[in-house]
């Protein structure tokens, strides 16, 4: 999809977004322990974003003109959903239906990668973007207090940035290493020479604080998604661009004292992911990762990654902490709740599930 | 809490019966298509080496014409294996080393021109070449040397730098082609892993997984043909695309290479008999697949002339736009419909990472 202005968006989305807010959604939000946000598809090919409560019930549905990716929350009553790469729109909406959703776009020579993160005070939104003519990763900065006006950008210090995290004064960016260009669809243009990295960028001046690479024999593991824990560790999940018949570590951990290193999960568990981790989430001492490609979820204590619990569900992907457990959604419309119950809807959930 | 998961696991283990019949499609694909075609590719690459060697020795115009024919044969036999993006071709950057494409910023052209200008002899040893940029070592670079600006020098001197660099590339292509053929022929190698799924097989734990890999590879092949080879030159609305975005425009092999890939894909599907495993109420898919392959190859056969004349002629180039539609339809049939009909766990495009 090319650049899109607000009018075009409203034309394609219809007037459905405000109307889609379900009755008493605001009250339901008050009553639930956790609110989840996720993008979805419908069986007939429409797209949107939804908020779900802790029972997997849909609180709000917002139509999108094309496929969305991650939903990020700033405060309890505001969220942004990004277009999936190489989309160029994002939509900010009130989680309690307070005002009309607001559409904003990446500049004409950038597209979104589908991920973003708010500053701790909620005033700024950082989005991973592709400067596709220069094949350079960028971090777009949007002013959440001024209708998400784009006020600047930083380098991501790598190619193909994907997930981004804010921690205090630092932005952590997963540079997947893959060059793509809208002229060639989703074709990866530089697999032989890819150099994925984990970059730490100063949130105030955009300077590079540190950049970490995996060992050269793992250079085809595209660093895509990450999750942090309370002790300052980051866990990183990758997607393998090399021979699918080769089993390589898809997970890594980063700690300020020890740097970036592969997480030694057993080969037979990693093999189940078919080279592709779609989502990662942490809850206390439990880390969970999913592969929609194989329909498998792995769950383990990263302090003892030799013992892995493996569960299956077709096209499972979205993951978020819930109570002492995890909630997981799938691209066939199921939502597995922490208490073991499953809810099936007519909506097909997209890659990510975010909780607030 | 795990009961629900276990129920699904049981379905996965006992379920779709049809996938059992489709397992033999893997063995038939390997024995009936993959091995003969990787062997054929290795043979054409060897002939390329000897013919370019003779060209370097003689500088004869007849030999250059012969090399152009041999180059064509090697490109077309490569087009029949380039979509086997699983196993040996995916090792050690072999696929990109054979053909670095798409090359959006003309990296290959710039690098090759620089090498020629500097007469950088480090590329003349094919083993050293293998460790250089992939854009310097495959068919793209070789096409420029044999057909690009300055190629006239090949018949103006003997043992010149340009020819020796071409020979080094040919040696590299031949070595990679041999490694791919050996990889597929290895009795304990990837072919066995793929065709003998089971609980102890770390890659393919059951029939559904190995058949899904075949269906996924076919689906991915169609997406590559469409997104990387057709879309860069197919007109979108009234826009004309620059013909230089066509793969192999210099050697005029754009159309024949596309046809070789599509015919190869059709042959592999036929030899595998994969579509015979479809349930009776889905037999129509096989008919539609055959119909669409015929449509695609018929549209390609209308594209005679140089790439420039095709891309710049609205009537001819409309066939390119039509091919975009047909390959999408084929991908839908072979990727989604077949996968669903065979009850495969999922098909998932490797281009789909997010």
Could you state, in order of their start, the residue ranges of all structural domains in chain A? 6-355
Is residue A349 within 8 Å of residue A332, measured between CB atoms? no
Give the relative orientation of helices B283-301 and B254-272 as an angle to the nearest 10 degrees.
Answer: 160
Looking at residue A153, its pLDDT comes to: 98
To test the contact with chain B by mutation, choose from A244, A247, A317 the residue with the greatest count of B C-beta atoms within 10 A, namely A244
Stretch A341-353: mean pLDDT: 92
Instruction: Count chain A–chain B contacts defined by CB atoms under 8 A.
Output: 110
Q: Which two tokens stand for residue A78?
A: 């505001």
- Domains in chain B, start-ordered, CATH in brackets? 17-23+192-352 (1.20.120), 27-188 (1.20.1420.20)
Looking at residue B175, its pLDDT comes to: 98
Mean pLDDT of chain A: 90
Give the relative orientation of helices B314-331 and B207-224 as an angle to the nearest 10 degrees.
Answer: 170
- For this complex, say whether ipTM is above 0.90: no
User: Cβ contact (<8 Å) for B354 and A84?
Assistant: yes
Distance from CA of B69 to the nearest CA of A (A): 29
Q: What is the pLDDT of residues B155-184, one digit of tens each?
A: 999 999 999 999 999 999 999 999 999 999
Which residue from B8, B90, B213 is facing A313, i.e. has the nearest CB? B8
- A273-290 burial code (b ≥16 CB/10 A, e <16): bbbbbbbbbbbeebbbbb
Stretch B202-225: mean pLDDT: 93
**First-residue to last-residue Cα distance in chain A:** 30
- Comparing CA positions, the residue from A127, A157, A128 lying closest to residue A142 is A127
pLDDT band for position A140 (cuts 50, 70, 90): very high
Q: Minimal Cα distance from B94: which residue of A? A: A192
Looking at residue A11, its pLDDT comes to: 41
For the cut 60, the answer to whether the pLDDT of residue A4 exceeds it is no
Q: How many residues does this entry show for chain A?
A: 356
Give the relative orientation of helices B139-147 and B61-79 as an angle to the nearest 10 degrees.
Answer: 150
Those residues of chain B whose CB sits closer than 8 Å to some CB in chain A are: 1-5, 8-9, 12, 86-87, 90-91, 93, 96-97, 100, 102-105, 133-134, 190, 193, 202-203, 209, 213, 223-224, 227-228, 231-232, 345-346, 348-354
With a pLDDT cut of 90, the percent of chain A lying above it is 75
For the cut 90, the answer to whether the pLDDT of residue A34 exceeds it is no
Distance from CA of B267 to the nearest CA of A (A): 24
User: Cβ contact (<8 Å) for B134 and A193?
Assistant: yes
For the cut 70, the answer to whether the pLDDT of residue B1 exceeds it is no
To test the contact with chain B by mutation, choose from A245, A248, A322, A340 the residue with the greatest count of B C-beta atoms within 10 A, namely A245
Is residue B184 within 8 Å of residue B38, measured between CB atoms? yes
Stretch A91-118: mean pLDDT: 93
CA distances from B177 to A223, B43, B143, B200 (A): 31, 9, 17, 30
Radius of gyration of chain A measured on its C-alpha atoms = 19
Looking at residue B352, its pLDDT comes to: 65
Q: Minimal Cα distance from A317: which residue of B? A: B354
Domain A6-355: state its class: mainly beta
The residue ranking higher by pLDDT, A56 or A29, is: A56
pLDDT band for position A278 (cuts 50, 70, 90): very high
Chain A residues with CB under 8 Å of B232 CB are 183-184
Q: What angle do CA A322, A324, A325 make, to 5 degrees?
A: 60
pLDDT band for position A30 (cuts 50, 70, 90): low
Residue A36 β-bridge partners:
A52, A355
CA distances from A141 to A18, A65, A155, A206, B287 (A): 26, 23, 11, 10, 53
Chain B residues with CB under 8 Å of A314 CB are 8, 345-346
Distance from CA of B8 to the nearest CA of A (A): 7
User: Cβ contact (<8 Å) for B354 and A191?
Assistant: no
Chain B residues with CB under 8 Å of A340 CB are 1-4
To test the contact with chain B by mutation, choose from A187, A280, A294, A351 the residue with the greatest count of B C-beta atoms within 10 A, namely A187
Residue A152 β-bridge partners:
A141
Chain A residues with CB under 8 Å of B104 CB are 181, 183-184, 189
pTM of the model: 0.89
Looking at residue A16, its pLDDT comes to: 42
Other beta carbons less than 10 A from residue B206's beta carbon:
18
Q: Which two tokens stand for residue A287?
A: 């880390």
User: Cβ contact (<8 Å) for B90 and A245?
Assistant: yes
Distance from CA of A33 to the nearest CA of B (A): 20
Which residue from B5, B90, B354 is facing A313, i.e. has the nearest CB? B5
Looking at residue A2, its pLDDT comes to: 33
For the cut 80, the answer to whether the pLDDT of residue A109 exceeds it is yes
Q: What is the pLDDT of residues B4-52, one digit of tens each?
A: 444 444 444 444 434 447 789 999 999 999 999 999 999 999 999 999 9
For the cut 80, the answer to whether the pLDDT of residue A25 exceeds it is no
Q: What is the pLDDT of residues B294-346, one digit of tens each?
A: 999 999 999 999 999 999 999 999 999 999 999 999 999 999 899 989 988 65
For the cut 80, the answer to whether the pLDDT of residue A27 exceeds it is no
Q: Minimal Cα distance from A224: which residue of B? A: B354
Q: Which two tokens stand for residue B214?
A: 């075949």
- Which of A54-63, B33-42, B234-243: highest mean pLDDT? B33-42
User: Cβ contact (<8 Å) for B96 and A191?
Assistant: yes
Chain A residues with CB under 8 Å of B237 CB are none
């Amino acid at each position: 999809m090319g650049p899109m202005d607000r009018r075009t968006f409203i034309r394609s989305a219809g007037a459905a977004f405000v109307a889609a807010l379900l009755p008493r959604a605001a009250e339901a939000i008050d009553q639930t322990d956790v609110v989840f946000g996720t993008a979805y598809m419908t069986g007939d090919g429409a797209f949107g974003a939804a908020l779900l409560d802790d029972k997997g019930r849909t609180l709000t549905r917002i139509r999108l003109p094309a496929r969305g990716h991650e939903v990020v929350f700033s405060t309890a009553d505001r969220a942004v959903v990004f277009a999936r790469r190489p989309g160029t729109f994002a939509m900010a909406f009130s989680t309690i239906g307070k005002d009309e959703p607001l559409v904003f776009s990446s500049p004409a020579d950038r597209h979104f990668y589908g991920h973003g993160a708010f500053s701790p005070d909620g005033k700024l939104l950082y989005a991973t973007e592709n400067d596709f003519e220069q094949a350079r990763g960028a971090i777009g900065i949007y002013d959440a207090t001024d209708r998400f006006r784009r006020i600047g950008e930083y380098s991501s210090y790598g190619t193909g940035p994907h997930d981004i995290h804010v921690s205090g004064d630092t932005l952590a960016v997963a540079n997947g290493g893959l060059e793509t260009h809208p002229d060639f669809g989703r074709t990866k243009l530089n697999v032989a020479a890819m150099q994925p990295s984990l970059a730490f960028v100063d949130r105030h001046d955009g300077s590079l604080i540190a950049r970490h690479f995996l060992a050269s024999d793992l250079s085809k593991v595209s660093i895509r998604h990450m999750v942090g824990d309370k002790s300052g560790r980051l866990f990183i999940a990758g997607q393998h661009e090399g021979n699918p018949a080769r089993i390589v570590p898809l997970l890594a951990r980063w700690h300020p004292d020890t740097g970036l290193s592969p997480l030694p999960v057993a080969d037979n568990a990693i093999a189940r992911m078919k080279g592709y981790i779609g989502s990662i989430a942490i809850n206390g001492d439990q880390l969970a990762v999913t592969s929609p490609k194989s329909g498998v979820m792995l769950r383990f204590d990263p302090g003892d990654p030799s013992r892995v619990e493996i569960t299956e569900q077709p096209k499972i992907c979205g993951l978020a902490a819930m109570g002492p457990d995890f909630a997981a959604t799938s691209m066939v419309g199921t939502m597995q709740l922490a208490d073991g119950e499953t809810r099936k809807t007519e909506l097909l959930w997209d890659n990510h599930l975010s909780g607030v | 809490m795990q009961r629900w998961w276990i129920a699904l696991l049981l379905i996965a283990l006992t379920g779709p019966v049809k996938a059992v019949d489709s397992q033999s499609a893997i063995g038939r694909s390997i024995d009936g298509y993959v091995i003969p075609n990787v062997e054929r590719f290795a043979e054409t690459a060897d002939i390329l080496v000897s013919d370019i060697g003779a060209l370097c020795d003689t500088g004869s115009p007849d030999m250059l014409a012969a090399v152009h024919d041999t180059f064509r044969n090697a490109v077309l036999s490569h087009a029949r294996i380039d979509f086997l993006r699983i196993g040996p071709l995916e090792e050690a950057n072999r696929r990109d080393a054979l053909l670095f494409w798409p090359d959006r910023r003309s990296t290959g052209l710039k690098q090759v021109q620089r090498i020629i200008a500097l007469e950088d002899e480090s590329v003349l040893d094919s083993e050293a070449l293998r460790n250089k940029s992939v854009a310097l070592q495959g068919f793209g670079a070789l096409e420029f040397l044999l057909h690009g600006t300055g190629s006239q020098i090949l018949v103006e001197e003997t043992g010149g730098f340009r020819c020796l660099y071409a020979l080094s590339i040919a040696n590299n292509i031949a070595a990679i082609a041999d490694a791919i053929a050996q990889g597929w022929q290895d009795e304990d190698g990837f072919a066995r892993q793929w065709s003998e799924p089971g609980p102890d097989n770390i890659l393919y734990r059951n029939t559904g997984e190995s058949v899904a890999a075949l269906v996924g590879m076919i689906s991915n092949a169609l997406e590559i043909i469409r997104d990387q080879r057709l879309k860069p030159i197919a007109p979108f609305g009234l826009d004309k695309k620059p013909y230089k975005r066509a793969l192999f425009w210099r050697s005029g092999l754009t159309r024949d290479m596309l046809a070789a890939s599509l015919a190869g894909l059709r042959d592999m599907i036929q030899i595998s008999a994969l579509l015979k495993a479809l349930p009776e109420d889905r037999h129509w898919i096989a008919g539609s697949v055959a119909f669409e392959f015929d449509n695609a190859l018929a549209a390609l056969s209308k594209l005679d002339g140089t790439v420039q004349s095709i891309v710049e002629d609205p009537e001819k180039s409309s066939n390119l736009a039509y091919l975009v539609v047909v390959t999408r339809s084929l991908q839908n049939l072979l990727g989604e419909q077949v996968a669903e009909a065979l009850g495969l766990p999922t098909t998932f495009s490797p281009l789909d990472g997010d």
